[in-house]
Amino acid sequence: MQGLVFDIAEASIHDGPGLRITVFLKGCPLRCKWCHSPEGQSPAPELLTFPGGQRLAGEVWSSRKLAEYLLDKKELLDGVTFSGGEPLSQADFLLEVLDLTKSALPSIIDTSCHGDYQKLKTLAEKAECLHVGLKVLDNEKARHWTGQGSALILENIRRLDKECATPYCFRLPLIPNVTDSEENLTAVANLAKELKNLTSVDFLPYNPVTGGKYAACGRAYEPGFDENAPTLLDLAAFRKLCPVEARVLE
Ligand code: SF4
Pocket flag, ligand 1, residue 84 (CB < 6 Å) = yes
Closest CA to 87 of 55, 31, 43: 43
Confidence check: pLDDT of 42 > 90: yes
- pLDDT per position as a tens digit, 70-100: 999 999 999 999 999 999 999 999 999 999 9
- pLDDT reported for residue 102: 82
Alpha-helical (H) ranges within 73-171 are 91-101, 117-126, 139-146, 151-163
Average pLDDT over residues 197-203: 98
Amino acid identity of residue 124, one-letter, is A
Confidence check: pLDDT of 16 > 90: no
3-class state of residue 48 by DSSP? strand
- pLDDT reported for residue 212: 82
Question: Is residue 145 within 8 Å of 33, Cβ to Cβ?
Answer: yes
* Residue 140 CB coordination number (10 Å): 10
- pLDDT reported for residue 37: 94
3-class state of residue 183 by DSSP? helix
- The full set of domains in the chain, from first to last, is 2-248 (3.20.20.70)
* C-alpha dist (Å) from residue 83 to 97, 109, 147, 187, 231: 13, 6, 19, 25, 25
Confidence check: pLDDT of 250 > 90: no
Entry pTM: 0.96
- Which atom of ligand 1 has the smallest separation from the CA of 28? 4
Exposed / middle / buried, residue 60 (Cβ in 10 Å: 0-12, 13-18, 19+): exposed
The overall average pLDDT reported for the chain is: 96
Cα separation, 117 vs 103, in Å, equals 24
Backbone region of residue 9 per phi and psi (left: phi > 0; alpha: psi in -120 to 50; beta: other values): beta
What is the DSSP secondary-structure string of 58-88?
A: -EEEEHHHHHHHHHHTGGG-SEEEEEES-GG
Amino acid identity of residue 90, one-letter, is Q
Q: From ligand 1's centre to the CA of 75, what distance in Å? A: 31
Of 207 and 195, the structure prediction assigns the larger pLDDT to 195
What is the largest distance, in Å, between two alpha-carbon atoms of the chain?
Answer: 50
- Ligand 1: residue whose CA is nearest its atom 3: 85
- pLDDT reported for residue 75: 94
- pLDDT reported for residue 15: 87
Q: From ligand 1's centre to the CA of 166, what distance in Å? A: 22
- Ligand 1: residue whose CA is nearest its atom 1: 30
- Ligand 1: residue whose CA is nearest its atom 6: 32
- pLDDT per position as a tens digit, 157-198: 999 999 999 999 999 999 999 999 999 999 999 999 999 999
Q: What angle do CA 86, 107, 64 make, to 5 degrees?
A: 80
- pLDDT reported for residue 207: 86
- pLDDT reported for residue 199: 98
Pocket flag, ligand 1, residue 87 (CB < 6 Å) = no
Confidence check: pLDDT of 121 > 90: yes
Confidence check: pLDDT of 13 > 90: no
